[in-house]
Amino acid sequence: MGAGSDDSRALARYTWPEVQLRSGREEKWLVIDRKVYNISEFCKRHPGGVRVISHYAGQDATDAFTAFHIDKQLVGRYLKPLLIGRPLAKYSQACS
């Protein structure tokens, strides 16, 4: 199961182009395990540094996330409040 997978909120659906647009200085989104996260504010507090996490803004960061975060339960606590939605089904392959 992916990080934040126990979240029961109704989640918004986003197209892949909508996610890709959020890769600038002001607004940053990324996808992990087919879930969209708004990291705009969190990136400033990211333990690995703003540059590391910002590199993946507007992209699918699942592979990097999996490689760098061993304790999924711990990291899931940080991800849960950042979860804003899911990619639309027709875009999910581009996000995985």
Please report, for the chain, the start and end positions of each structural domain, with discontinuous segments joined by +: 12-91
pLDDT digits 0-9 by tens, 33-85: 999 999 999 999 998 899 999 999 999 999 999 999 999 889 989 999 999 99
Tell whether the model's pLDDT for residue 8 goes beyond 90: no
pTM above 0.85, yes or no: no
Tokens, residue 81: 């409040």
Summarize the confidence of residues 5-11 as an average pLDDT.
62
Judge contact between 60 and 31, C-beta under 8 A. yes
CA 48, chain centre distance (Å)? 15
Q: What is the DSSP letter of 23?
A: B
Output the pLDDT for position 72: 86
Name the strands in the sheet holding 12-14, side by side, starting at the edge strand that comes first in the sequence.
12-14, 83-87, 35-38, 29-32
Please give the CATH superfamily to which domain 12-91 belongs.
Answer: Cytochrome b5-like heme/steroid binding domain (3.10.120.10)
